[in-house]
Amino acid sequence: MKAQIQPTPDGAIVFDAQAVAQAAFDPEWFNPEYWRARSGAQAPAGGRGGAVFIDAPFGQCALRHYHRGGMAARLLGDRYLWIGAQRTRSFAEFRLLMELREHGLPAPAPIAARYRRCGTHYRADLITRRIEQALTLAECLAARDADAAMAARVGATIARFHTAGACHADLNAHNVLLRGTEVWLIDFDRGELRTPARAWQQANLARLQRSLYKLGAARDGEDAFMRNLWQPLLAAYEGALA
């Protein structure tokens, strides 16, 4: 990858010059309406992080505009406090994804990130390479297509990230993608590289477990969930860590 910074009138863009294969990145490429007018950008099922899929000159990608959640969304909407370019949500995630890819981890390749500053606040966008023909773990659960073998692959993949010190801030079933025997983790907003430690690693797993419960993974009973999904996931996770 070759990260290149491009100033704009209200902020900046960082993009992978090798992936885009041109000297400048068109700011309009961060606008979903631009793509809808040309090839029909589509929101993925389940609304993965508010992303839309786009068919860009540099390939199939996912475009995501950063939105706040919870009570803060009512006050600030999609605005974030300005504390420097490198600490914007988009630039930080772009940089983290680059590092994860350098570690050989199955995370989306970052294509471009942007921030637009307005006084003490900014808005942000991110474009990543789309993982085509993949389903979320949430979709697999809804289709009753999740089994022990799949759970084990998920557990082993999470262990790879944790071994590298990659902490996912929102590890849930919507942010785990499956394609054949491959497992990917997506949406690394607020994620970071840390010194591996049991406390935050277990917190990551606990967040995923709560997500699975919320999506009805235990609808056939707690014992069935533990036996068929959670215990195989944990066993593969611990085995990969060892």
pLDDT tens figures, 193-207: 999 999 999 999 999
Residue predicted with more confidence, 72 or 234: 234
pLDDT in tens, 106-129: 999 999 999 999 999 999 999 999
Do the Cβ atoms of 27 and 60 come closer than 8 Å? no
Do the Cβ atoms of 146 and 137 come closer than 8 Å? yes
238 pLDDT above the threshold of 80: yes
Q: What is the pTM of this model?
A: 0.93
Vertex 54, ends 18 and 13: CA angle to 5°?
45
Name residue 121's beta-bridge partners: 81, 118
Specify the 3-state DSSP secondary structure of 146: coil
Give the residue numbers marked as catalytic. Answer: 170
Tell me the chain's radius of gyration from C-alpha atoms.
Answer: 18
What is the arithmetic mean of pLDDT over 212-227? 96
